[in-house]
Structure 1
């Protein structure tokens, strides 16, 4: 198997190819923070439980228990949350796919760890490899978070330029640029406290319940661990348009997609650019895989005319199909 070149992976974040023609339907995979107690309960079936048992063996976690009876405090753990979120998204995707074959021109995009689920949906990696990489990623990030007191905080409102200037002034990183008036700052805890005490004009700061500064250089040790694991993964070219968090543009190959996912561990998530690409492509139907809600909330403000289907239960899927969407054919 190939070994992932980290310099090459980082360079991928600066590519400038124009967006390809995209479909009018997008499937979104949520990231960390979307987890909630009992999120797997509505999606359980004999097939889903068998799948979860296999995936549990891969990641070394009891995904079925964690997704049904675990309390919120346990799900905050990065090492647990990441593989569980990816597993839940893929269980929802399999239910969606079982209604018919997804169109080959349906756009696929995931937020942060959701990129692993999105890569599986786009045919770049197998579901099993997505779960395995999510487990490595979550565990390695949890370890990296313990090396120094760091964290993240959402800055809501304010002028985006002024917000970013203030974040950088404090030695922090604008780690998630989510659009819809939301920029997430990440870095040392002391600097985050200073940001909360003196926020940018017209903005408020909300501390996030995460273990550390994701998508910053503080995650370098985790990136190295993920790169080592990714070097053993077979990839395939996307069978559907797959957008990257690095610049919102479609990836061109499976190797490109996986390299970007690894490089993204220490680079900001540009969800704003992903939404801009969807807007430019005139995406009119957005389906968010479970645990759904956060991403369609962002889409509501940036793509107000798009029909949104957060798949919170199988009944949400029924509503999608009854609406006549061409997501499944």
Structure 2
């Protein structure tokens, strides 16, 4: 079984769109998505520096657009079997929704534009931040996060939880963290996926009725506890709640394991989710689709694993 996964904010790097712009039709597709996104995707993905693309209102549309370009290139003019699941981390769920037929590319870009701007506005209301807590026991990590008045915003794996809250609380956690755990402050200016994003959730809820979601052509694995989504309406309900609710990527991986995943391709900018899978989904084949040079190997992997439930041969990138 093949799953295609889509990374979230923080995976972007300056110039990471450059290799994809050379493909036939890529610049035209980016221009078409730039209009509903409200930003110049080509310029930001090829010329803008790290600080510029760290901005939530830039990073999120850029990630969705590049993920769409990469996955579309994988299947374009190819007689390939479809994957058997899509999943995305945080804003990557919007990429997955476009790839899975829930949203048109235009609606996905309209939604990410509203989402990113609303989240940026909510983040600017007061100084908040996030920190990764790596190691320790889950019970102690969650108890320490709660003791500092913080929220567990991302449950990324058995060994990694992301805490979010006020900048002061994050600093206190860094000084007094869980036993046998490292606290790594993240370069973000917002407590995403927590009640601090309540205003953003309200904006998304008001915008959602303008969208026309379809039922997915391939099951979507949701950040909401790994729920398998087969309804476009249900997807939209969860994606509105997601901005102010925890991202449970650990549950997504568990859902993929239960469904018998044998291979995973992460679309550009890839590496974060396959890195987590390498530790949590041992033995599956992993592929990072970062540039067009990776397309042939990714297509080979699709053919080998789509619809196959037997154990794969070792292949990890």
Aligned to 2:313: none
Distance 1:151 1:101, change over 3 A: farther
Distance 1:294 1:105, change over 3 A: closer
Conserved in 2, the CA contact under 8 Å of 1:79 and 1:139? yes
TM, length-normalised to structure 2: 0.93
Task: Measure the CA separation in 2 of the matches of 1:175 and 1:317.
Answer: 33
Task: Measure the CA separation in 2 of the matches of 1:105 and 1:72.
Answer: 33
TM, length-normalised to structure 1: 0.90
Query: RMSD over aligned Cα, in angstroms?
Result: 1.4
Q: RCO (CA 8 Å, sep 6+): is it higher in 1 or 2?
A: 1
Moved segments of 4+, more than 6 Å: none
Q: Give 1:33 shift.
A: 0.4
Distance 1:72 1:211, change over 3 A: same
Task: Measure the CA separation in 1 of the matches of 2:11 and 2:81.
Answer: 26
Aligned to 2:197: 219
Q: SS where residue 13 of structure 2 aligns?
A: coil
Aligned to 1:286: 264
Aligned to 1:265: 243
Q: SS where residue 67 of structure 1 aligns?
A: helix
Aligned to 1:26: 3
Conserved in 2, the CA contact under 8 Å of 1:140 and 1:222? yes
* Consecutive unaligned residues in structure 2, runs of 5 or more: 308-317
Does residue 325 (structure 1) correspond to residue 304 (structure 2)? The answer is yes
How many residues are matched?
305
Task: Measure the CA separation in 2 of the matches of 1:130 and 1:102.
Answer: 24
Aligned to 2:167: 189
Conserved in 1, the CA contact under 8 Å of 2:57 and 2:116? yes
Aligned mate of 2:115, from 126, 133, 137 = 137
Aligned runs of 1:150-165 on 2, under 5 Å? Answer: 150-165=128-143
Task: Measure the CA separation in 2 of the matches of 1:230 and 1:318.
Answer: 37
Conserved in 1, the CA contact under 8 Å of 2:3 and 2:83? no
Q: Deviations over 1:249-292 (max 9, x none)?
A: 21131000011011111110000000011112221110001111
Q: SS where residue 240 of structure 1 aligns?
A: coil
Aligned to 2:310: none
